[in-house]
Amino acid sequence: MAHVTRRLIAVTAALTISLTGGAVASPAFADPRETVKDATATGYGGAVSTVDPEASAAAIEVLRKGGNAADAAVAAAATLGVTEPYSAGIGGGGYFVFYDADTGEVGTIDGRETAPAAIPKDAFIDKRTGQPYPFTPELVTSGVAVGVPGTPATWERALDRWGSMSLRDALKPAIRVATRGFVVDKTFRQQTLDNKLRFGAFTSTSSLFLPGGDAPAVGSVFKNHDLAETYRLLARKGTDGFYTGPLAAEIAATVQAPPKTARTKLPVPAGHLTTNDLAAYRALDQEPTKVDYQGLEVYGMAPSSSGGTTTGEALNILDTFDLSGMSRAGALHHYLEASALAFADRGKYVGDPAFGDVPAEELTDPVFGKERACRINPLKAATKPVAPGDVSAYDGVCPATAAAPADEKDTENISTTNLTVADRWGNVVDYTLTIEQTGGSGIVVPGRGFLLNNELTDFSTVYNEADPNRIEPGKRPRSSMAPTIILKDGEPFLALGSPGGSTIITTVLQTIMNRVDLGMGISAAIAAPRASQRNTASVTAEPAFIDVYGKQLTGYGHTLTPAGDAFTSAAEIGAATAIEFLPDGRMVAAAEPVRRGGGSAMVLRPSR
């Protein structure tokens, strides 16, 4: 009944908009638009959590028609490409984690973007000055930052490996939403305004997202017929319609000669992506990372993502302490210190394993975690940055101090999106997908309705042979995406993930600690104020976190600074989604109550 009520409200909202000067939508044409967001939903038969009610409704529709979690995840992701185009879409990439109820195993797909074959070592150096391009807005608004997209290949591989539906059928809800439009909310308008300078640099982008020179008004209906037609192309031809043929040629041409406006002052350096790069792209099947924490089995994404190894290492460190027996401030102190240690090792060791040895097994070894835990002083924060550990020689005994590395690039934008889905058979998906910065490269492929990513900015800006994340042709840049599935006694217990740049790892880690160690319910664990320590001199924290814990953590020696960056007006960290599986068979879908405008949790059959 709650779901029916939501849809009736959405119909009324859509018709009201048409009568007050927005996009015309006659009663005969206006499909119910999902506008109401519930942050928590509990029930049976299937569940979904995303940042958007249209995407969650798409997943529920697929589940109701007999599709499984993989089918529903692709449907939701495609719909997010319509309603959350600044965070996700077919111009980007991501990581897909799946629990197979039939086999009891967790599998993953690496759909990360790749560097073009012709990219040079000095791709991010301004030839005019000999210095690196400023990161924002110059480098992020460019063709040179565009990697070969992996999202369409990820969808096709997920459906082939685990799904029960065709790509054509999985795309139907998204095509419908793109065609009849969705209701613009405050978050969509604000994200458009935040990117006005960048979007205004391109004719294709400004005509789509800045009609008349302004962002779409709150309450108006935004339609994307170009994207609907692009999805129809994929429905007809599969991903061959994306990676080969006319669309591939248009993508390559757009990267090599971005459609700049005459008025922009941004340099917009051209990129190197070709049709051969697109034709050669493959999404990769991978084994997940796995660590045991408090009697739970925690599965994550292996490199090229650093999410699984870094979260896993931090959990191994924390597993040596009794966080539940500490004060809240004491537990948070240990969380922050463990995060710094794991990030030190991330920076030294993690990159694309196809281009060098990545010691993922050692980084997630509980013995290595025990040795790294020796570095935590229970009463005082260490001076940051802390030194990486030695994965070549460890035995769990506290070692001598090594030289500390330099700080990492400290990105914290809320771009990217995460979705979590479960079906009636017990299959579970956690999927993180992205186009990197909010708004990606800022470049819409003309006439195709989607933004291209700027994922190559995740490589180190300056080439260094000793850096595992140096830029190289065909390489996948190191990611922080951390889609996670947790089992208890071999059965699903919790699935979760988040957007947020490098804060993804700490958001997932803190949410797990909140739920497992601090005894919060999953909704409260997501809603709790966040802080992120990524081996930097200060801790990035939400204002609410500083208000509650700032004085206590300052007493431990931590320095806290408010969150926020150049890509968002909100001082927020992450926008998590999760599903918890209760012993009585119910599922609790949980989304953000406030961050990023609040998320959308739905279940197939709500319980009282």
Residue 580 lies in a domain: yes
- CA pair distance 576, 591, nearest whole angstrom: 6
Give me 103's structure tokens.
């086999």
Q: Check residue 400 and give its pLDDT.
A: 65
Residue pair 498/301 in contact (Cβ under 8 Å)? The answer is no
Q: Are residues 107 and 197 located together in one domain of the fold?
A: yes
Nearest by Cα to 312 from 293, 285, 330: 293
Q: Check residue 414 and give its pLDDT.
A: 53
- CA pair distance 430, 419, nearest whole angstrom: 6
What's the CATH code of the domain at 383?
1.10.246.130
Residue 232 lies in a domain: yes
Residue 298 lies in a domain: no
Q: Check residue 401 and give its pLDDT.
A: 57
Residue 299 lies in a domain: no
Instruction: Count up the domains in the chain and report the number.
Output: 2
Residue 499 lies in a domain: no
Kindly give the residue spans of alpha helices, DSSP state H, lying in 65-184: 69-83, 151-162, 167-170, 172-180
Residue pair 386/393 in contact (Cβ under 8 Å)? The answer is no
Residue 567 lies in a domain: no
**Which of 40, 42, 411, 416 is an active site residue?**
416
Q: Are residues 16 and 123 located together in one domain of the fold?
A: yes
Q: Are residues 595 and 551 located together in one domain of the fold?
A: no
Q: Check residue 608 and give its pLDDT.
A: 75
Q: Can you spell out the DSSP letters for 306-319?
A: SHHHHHHHHHHHHT
Q: Are residues 261 and 163 located together in one domain of the fold?
A: yes
Q: Are residues 55 and 117 located together in one domain of the fold?
A: yes
The single-letter code of the amino acid at 183 is: V
Structural domain containing residue 206: 2-284+412-488+575-606
Q: Are residues 402 and 420 located together in one domain of the fold?
A: no
Task: Name the region of 564 (left: φ>0; alpha: ψ -120 to 50; beta: rest).
Answer: left
Dmax over Cα atoms in the chain, in whole Å? Answer: 73
Q: Are residues 211 and 190 located together in one domain of the fold?
A: yes
Residue 230 lies in a domain: yes
Q: Check residue 23 and give its pLDDT.
A: 33
- Angle between the 225-237 and 69-83 helix axes, to the nearest 10 degrees? 150
- Cα-flanking dihedrals φ and ψ of residue 562, to 5°? -65, 145
- CA pair distance 572, 526, nearest whole angstrom: 12
Beta bridge partners of 561: 540
Three-class DSSP category at 375: coil
Q: Are residues 556 and 584 located together in one domain of the fold?
A: no
Q: Are residues 231 and 376 located together in one domain of the fold?
A: no
pTM recorded for the entire structure: 0.93
- For 501-523, the three-class secondary structure string (H helix, E strand, C coil) is CCHHHHHHHHHHHHHHCCCCCHH
Residue 59 lies in a domain: yes
Which helix (H) or strand (E) element contains residue 526? helix 522-527
- Report, as ranges of residue numbers, the positions in the chain whose pLDDT lies below 70: 1-31, 400-414, 565-570
The single-letter code of the amino acid at 237 is: K
Q: Which residue has the tokens 């099947």?
A: 285
Beta bridge partners of 107: 98
Residue pair 464/454 in contact (Cβ under 8 Å)? The answer is no
Residue pair 471/107 in contact (Cβ under 8 Å)? The answer is no
Residue pair 44/585 in contact (Cβ under 8 Å)? The answer is yes
CA distances from 279 to 89, 146, 147, 353 (A): 19, 16, 13, 22
Residue pair 185/218 in contact (Cβ under 8 Å)? The answer is yes
- CA pair distance 492, 203, nearest whole angstrom: 47
Q: Are residues 33 and 115 located together in one domain of the fold?
A: yes
Q: Are residues 76 and 207 located together in one domain of the fold?
A: yes
Task: List, in order, residues 6 or more apart from 547 with CB less than 8 Å away.
Answer: 529
Three-class DSSP category at 485: strand
Q: Are residues 343 and 425 located together in one domain of the fold?
A: no
Active site residue 416: yes
